[in-house]
Homo-oligomer: A and B are copies of this chain.
Amino acid sequence: MFYRLLFASLWYILPAYIANASACVFGGGTPLDLGKNFVDGRRIIGDGVTYKGSVFGIVCGTLVGLIQGILVDSNVFNSLDFYGTVLDHVILAFFLSTGAIVGDAMGSFIKRRLNIERGKPAPLLDQLDFVIGALVFGYLVAPIPHEMIIIICLFTVFIHLLGNIIAYKLGIKDVWW
């Protein structure tokens, strides 16, 4: 029962994960805030969130939704009983991906207002900004039970920390966070 809920949670949020990762991998170029400053004299969002990354993120995340829809539609996962048609999946994935990008930008916006530089850690906010954005946007088209929201948040923080520690041990990252 718990594993089914865990799988359903990760299946639901997967497009947001892919959108967030793709935005990072395919980032660079013009930043979303066009380099402009906010009223406090600091950057609105910063160089971390770009047009190229955002578009690639939303496209890749939505494509994952298309694949999910086809898999469910062809009964590969015949135990998954939610999110009817392929189009439903694509629409949901588009909302989740867009929410992930917006959430990430909001997180950077908050960090700039608190005068935390890009790359400096903001525990919980760094890991959860894109997930919170995705959950809010996703909730508009496909609301999920509250326990799935909690599972998604806890799993995201856990897997983020685990990934960073592994990258640190492998010498890919200089710091463990």
Contacts and interface: CB of A to CB of B under 8 A. Distances in A.
Sorting the interface of chain A by its residue count into under 10, 10 to 19, 20 to 34 or 35 or more gives: 10 to 19
Q: Which 3 A-B pairs have the closest CB atoms?
A: A124-B124, A146-B146, A123-B125
Interface string A57-80: 000000000000000000000000
Contact of A124 (B115, B116, B125): B125
A114 B177 contact: yes
A114 B123 CA distance: 8
Interface in A132-164: 145-147, 149-150
B128 A121 contact: no
Q: Chain copies in the assembly?
A: 2
23 contacts: A110-B123, A111-B123, A113-B177, A114-B121, A114-B123, A115-B121, A116-B121, A116-B123, A121-B122, A122-B122, A122-B123, A122-B125, A123-B124, A123-B125, A124-B124, A124-B125, A125-B125, A145-B146, A146-B146, A146-B147, A146-B149, A149-B150, A150-B150
A111 B114 CA distance: 16
Contacts of A150: 146, 149-150
Interface string A108-120: 0011011110000
Given A124-B125, A149-B150, 5 more contacts: A114-B121, A114-B123, A122-B122, A146-B149, A150-B150
Contacts of A128: 124
Greatest chain B CB density within 10 A among A111, A113, A122 is at A122
